[in-house]
Chains A and B, each alone.
Chain A
Amino acid sequence: MATIDDGMREGVAAPLPKPYKPPVVAPGHTPGTVTDKISSVVLRRTPKWWYVGFGLSFMLLMLFLFSVTYLFAKGVGIWGINQPVGWGFDIINFVWWIGIGHAGTLISAILLLLRQEWRTSINRFAEAMTLFAVACAGMYPVLHLGRPWLAYWLFPYPNTMGMWPQFRSPLIWDVFAVSTYATVSALFWYVGLIPDLATLRDRARNRVMKVVYGFGAMGWRGSAAHWHNYETAYLLLAGLATPLVISVHTVVSFDFAVGQVPGWHATIFPPYFVAGAIYAGFAMVLTLAIPLRAAFNLEDFITTRHLQNMAKVMLATGLIVVYGYMAEIFFGWYSGNLYERFMLMNRATGPYQWHWFALLLCNAVVPQLLWFRRFRTSPFWLFLISMVVSVGMWLERFIIIVTSLHRDFLPSSWGLYKGTFWDWSTFIGTMGLFLSLIFLFIRFLPMISIFEMRTIVPAAGNTSEGSEYTTAPEQEPGIPTNPPTNPGAVP
């Protein structure tokens, strides 16, 4: 860990007993300025670039709708999937998006439980990102069906056919894992939003917005009872979400590990997938945070320390992923299994060898730059590296799915796979959906948790890390419904 960060400005309190850590909020902020700053993003006039960005994303979203309509009209044959390779972009993208969807809940829940206060500035939009990524991911299992109109057959529901799903299938486990994760993530995100929605309700000048935010705030008045219930619920949800972060990708990895295709059938998959998911998730948080921070001048809240910390998490999980690759190669060789060995040789020398080398470059080589503080603290480099990691993680799923399937047991049935226009348009289309949702989110909801930020500004008397929740946010003048000044008081 860095002890003194040259990039930080001076002016923090007297020498500390423990090693100095740069603050998570730039000095000079009061609860009032925090609220003003964050809520102004939502309440002031829409900047022009937002229209441009949203417009472009929305066009991609329309491309998605167009692709899906065509898909439903014609069938999954419009994609490049074929006989040996029954899954292609559909499941690659599913796993990719669901992996991205891991960072948000990890940041919110696990770091909350671990009392990492730096999470506060990034948890809100990381959670939103999670939710949107899971929405993108969740569509693929339905889209990829041959008969998508029967997708509900994957749910256990009483029916006249007397049929239950087949519980031995990992796809059924997926259904439960992903739907639970989506539900808990959404609840967690929404519960966390309630106090801020109340703030926005109170600050909104527009009648319509007042009503809309009012609905969303669910009658939040900031009473001590509210705060008490809120904190209990939030902690419980955090506790609930924490195992889910681990379980979802574990279950997703079962889709492959339970199969017997060489390249899928590996016990390393669950931890390797979870680490990969966090890796990809943090990469995506950085990819989003860095431009947002610049666009809204949020450098005070998303400080270099945040960037550094996220880079460190990326480096750590990236190393676990590399360990996974090495374990795969080692076991493939050590098992002496003909098919495993062929699979490994085929990845390195077969028709998809360049994908494999690109994967290694993206996921194993480039992230090693993060050992150096220069790269960790440079938003530009971090942005670049996190993009590379996102590409790398996509390639990883491509390698796992396509190269394993395209040459499995019988050489007579070998084939090749290539995404078609519709594969790409659907993929890019889901990016459009994701970005559209992100744009709507930053425009209409506070992308940084206002009330939580207030708890950590130094002016609130919060001088060190420690629980944000032992000290209640300071009362803010001029705003009627505020957190109570005395959090211990019982109403």
Chain B
Amino acid sequence: MNDSKGKCGAEASPQAGPVQLDLAELRETLRQKRGPEVWRSLEELAETPEFEELLHREFPRQASELTLAGVDGVSRRGFLQLAGASLALAGLTGCTKQPREAIVPYVKQPEYIIPGRPLFFATALTHMGYAQGVLAESHMGRPTKIEGNPEHPANLGATDVFAQAAVLTLYDPERSQSLLHNGRIATWGAFVADLGNRLRALQGLGGEGVRILTGNVTSPTFAAQMRDLLTRFPGARWHQWESAGNHHGRAAAQSAFGQPLETRYDFNAARVVVAIDSDVLTMGPGNVRYQRDFARNRRVRKDNLQMSRLYAVESVPTNTGTLADHRLPLPPAEVEAFTLALAQAVGAVPGGGDVLTDARARTFVQAIAQDLRANAGASIVAADEYASPAVQVLVHAINQALGNSGRTVFHTAPVEAQPMDQVASMRQLVADMNAGRVELLLMLGGVNPVYTAPADLNFAQALQKVPLRAHHGLFEDETSEYCHWHVPAAHELESWGDARSFDGTVSVIQPLIQPLYNGKTGHEIVAALFASRADANSYELVREHWQTLLVAGSGSTFEEAWRKVLHDGVVPATQLPPTGASVNGGAVQQAASQITASLQQARSQGNPQGNKITLRLRPDPTVWDGSLAQNVWLQELPKPLTKLTWDNALMIGPAAAERLGIAHEETVEVSWNGRKVQAAAWVQPGMAEGAAALSLGYGRRRAGRATGLGFNAYELRTSQALWNLAGAEIRGLGGRFDFASTQNHHVLPQGKRHSGMAADGKGEIPLAGSEAERRHLVMTRTVEEFRRDPETIKKSREEPEPDESLYPRWKYNGHAWGMAIDLNVCTGCSSCVIACQSENNIPVVGKEQVRRGREMHWIRVDRYYAGDMDDPRIHNQPIPCMHCEQAPCEVVCPVAATAHSDEGLNDMVYNRCVGTRYCSNNCPYKVRRFNFFRYSDKDTPVLAMLQNPDVTVRMRGVMEKCTYCVQRIEQAKIESKVDGKPIPPNSLQSACQQACPTQAIVFGDINDPEWEVTKWKSDPLNYGLLEMLNTRPRTTYLAKITNPNPALPDPNAAAGEERTQHGHD
């Protein structure tokens, strides 16, 4: 949103008031309340965490006051009085039911709150510990939508899918809602007392036997607390396990630089990018910023033909690969060989490139090396976490040899507060647990090792040998099941905290709402247990930490600095500076020989070998390592490329499927080193032969509604092989698994062995691809073709004459809203989809309904393959409503429920819709979505808080579709009316546009030449979808331009994309 509307300063809701329950004070409070006010006050009182906690104590033997009178300062007498009060208020004890509340006006108007107007608060959300700066939209005290913080360097106003979906997790009715002791409801006081007792016993030993397990930690406050803890309890140990974390990257940095440095890229300055088995653009902590910077160099227009070049060499197709000018699928072992050959070719490693046997790969190496050398210092070679440490060391060496280090590639001090070899740390922890050396294990921040720990460690078994185990998380999960204590965590939108983003910038996390279920933060638990501050809340703890740091050298008072930090969402000058570290030559040599050795081994066994394949594990693009499995928006978000929802799949290339005799959707058994897991195959065009891929995060045993979805890749994942399982065996079981994919529902031949889908080209995906080609849905040109003939796209447009219609043309005197989407920079990351879902109260429908083709997303990202099954070109195309000038839906609606507005919107009037579905049948773009059932959950009270109050929650039987965020348009119009000024150009953004990391979507008034969208639409690259239908779509596309290397075969020609012949035939 524009800034004028934007953030309002200050803290959202500091947790004020006493935390320790003082009975005398409570009684005093009660006494002071008189008359009709009393009941409301009691309810208010009952809402305080302290009181509710007391109400939970149904059984005297669990009431810690009787035995631990000293701890809470409550006497036996006091307890009995409270027990009486709890009887009197028995009706209020429910922990999920919201109390009945009278609506009364504010006596004192809270600052900034105007009913009907949202407030925006700058805060941060973390993913793998790394922060993304966000602006959270709050309606009357409830957060409803996440936007990126334009002032935060990690995202510059955009977001990824995880941040967009965070608000749903906040309101998830399946969040754990009460503190549990052995599965029964218990109190915070009892928890503190129980662990406190044990700690006091262990303190004598210096804390020996105390173990704390967390995920990645970047929070300066938490790190300081931990440091403090470790000085108080020198025998205690801090272990970390971030299952999908940066294990290989850390190891590679350790070996290349001697310290676990962080690698950061500046895509702004990169003219050539080589992604080696890497989804650098859409995965990892810096992805949102990287996408933005990368897109800047790809935005070709008639007056700007400069464009960077992207190569992708990968075994598993990625979003980055879909944008690549040249994409080379190679088996995993060959990718390593390729890296080595490239390192040799650019002179980073001595030796002369005979490592590669494949002629095509050799041509690639030569061409890429030449291109890289020509752009030395202005190129990036990037490898992902999922490449082996050896490959990453070589990549560091290549960047250094090219002089990229310090110009486009930076190495900074670690962002993590306490980097450690997490695999070793876990191994140590499990060994100690087995040896009985662990007395107390505290697992903080939702870490779920029973599910995510390497399978060879047998974590669950070892865990049971620990006498006292506590788990802290948003959900009850596989680990909490094994723990004595489970403490519900506060969501990041309900808690104070701080975190660093990928470049080190610190953000303060501020809450927008009081914890819904009295969740605690890690800060509070550590303070309560190890600093004897049971009453400390994270607000105080974070402030205390920054008390001196913020004012240092600024000259302002702490309050001023603090308010500014909260307002801006970033702590100034906390970005980590690049270090001048250089790569250790010995490590590079070692990496090179390691690759040569493993390559020899792989080749000596023959490649591909029988039914052997290299299984690549990856974090899931939507549910990540499983920690987001309960988020149904993410579950139903079609995964890039496969468009699968609600499951992961064993992705396997067409050639490998044929070699192994595995059909699409066939159930398979994957075995590796004696470990076995059952999965189902998904034949994925573009996968390299010799590779299969399975994502983490599924097959959960205890995850609420996500229980049992998909297949558990962790069962194969060991501490020796986190991402690369060479020599895995895949055996078809002949069964058939029902996947729910949103594109080409059930379209590959299923259940038949040796389907021959790839061989005879009769499979449905190739059919869809070739049809899409023929229909000019995604227009592609090379930048050279565009330079030669700027009208090239225009010539293949099939736009009818303007007046070819029975009906008169619409006249727009005021605004005329339109949208343009730049296909050249769309990575297919799908942030727009979740942003739209959150903004527009779009329900999820569940796997069964997706299987029946009834998903509700208003914007979807279509994926098309062109050319060869094994090495296709892959295109992404976001499709919102086209808001046609001559909309086929409008004329056929019998009740005028879909109508043309005087600003050119194709409005949908839910109240008027009777549900004939004729509009959807007649929509050539199939963007309309129908409520076949009552999909919106109106029965769960907490979910009512999630809904955007500006958007209707639809009932069953009505049609819905993209509105161009009409509520935002109306809001802007109201504001402009109030101000008496026209809507400033480019100040209005649709939700999809706002979330888009690459700014591929622009929206605005096409009647006004000042708006960006008008400029885009006048570009010769602009074209409409299915224009020959004379629908005159308001949403148009800018053609996808590639910048192929002339030294390499033209991938477009290889993909058979025809250029010259246009028109119907």
Contacts and interface: CB of A to CB of B under 8 A. Distances in A.
Interface string B911-922: 011111110111
A140 B99 CA distance: 46
Contact of B745 (A76, A165, A260, A416): A416
Interface in B114-141: none
B916 A171 contact: yes
Given A145-B916, A146-B931, A412-B862, A82 B895 contact: no
Given A409-B924, A410-B777, A150 B914 contact: yes
A147 interface: yes
A414 B849 CA distance: 16
With most chain A CB atoms within 10 A of its CB, the pick from B853, B863, B915 is B853
A414 B924 CA distance: 11
A305 B596 CA distance: 92
Interface in A152-186: 153-154, 163-166, 168-172, 175
B915 A145 contact: yes
Given A146-B913, A146-B958, A414-B768, A166 B894 contact: yes
B962 to A, nearest CB: 14
B932 A166 contact: no
Contacts of B1029: 260, 409
A163 B895 contact: yes
Contacts of B1026: 409-410
B864 interface: yes
B894 A147 contact: no
Given A84-B853, A163-B912, A171 B894 contact: yes
Contacts of B931: 75, 146
B661 interface: no
Contact of A153 (B855, B895, B933): B895
Contacts of B933: 74-75, 77
Contact of B914 (A154, A338, A415): A154
Contacts of A86: 917-918, 920-921, 930
Nearest to B772: A411
Interface in B716-751: 743-747
Interface stretch (B46-54, B55-63, B885-893, B1002-1010): B885-893
A19 interface: no
B569 interface: no
B915 A147 contact: yes
Interface in B843-859: 849, 852-855
B726 to A, nearest CB: 35
Contacts of A83: 853-855, 920, 926, 929-930
Contact of A175 (B854, B894, B926, B959): B894
A118 to B, nearest CB: 41
B830 to A, nearest CB: 14
Nearest to B929: A83
A144 interface: yes
A32 interface: no
A258 B892 contact: yes
Contacts of A165: 894-896
A76 B958 CA distance: 11
Contacts of A84: 853, 926
Contacts of B745: 414-416
A5 B223 CA distance: 105
Interface in A409-431: 409-416
With most chain A CB atoms within 10 A of its CB, the pick from B852, B877, B912, B930 is B852
Nearest to B1025: A410
A218 interface: no
A81 interface: yes
A16 B921 CA distance: 60
B705 interface: no
A348 interface: no
A342 interface: yes
A411 B920 CA distance: 16
Interface string A319-362: 00000000000000000111100100000000000000000000
B1064 A408 contact: no
B888 A260 contact: yes
Nearest to B895: A153
Contact of A413 (B767, B917, B926, B934): B926
B511 interface: no
Contacts of B863: 412
Contact of B1064 (A75, A338, A415): A338
Contacts of B955: 147
Contact of A87 (B860, B864, B917, B925): B917
A145 B914 contact: yes
13 contacts: A77-B933, A83-B920, A86-B917, A86-B921, A144-B916, A145-B915, A146-B917, A146-B959, A338-B1064, A409-B925, A410-B925, A410-B926, A412-B744
Sort A-B residue pairs by CB-CB distance and give the 4 closest, nearest first: A146-B915, A146-B957, A77-B932, A82-B853
Interface of B: 743-747, 764, 767-769, 771-772, 774-775, 777, 849, 852-855, 860, 862-864, 877, 879, 888, 891-896, 912-918, 920-922, 924-926, 929-934, 955-959, 1025-1026, 1029, 1064-1065
Interface of A: 74-77, 80-87, 144-148, 150-151, 153-154, 163-166, 168-172, 175, 255, 258-261, 336-339, 342, 405, 408-416
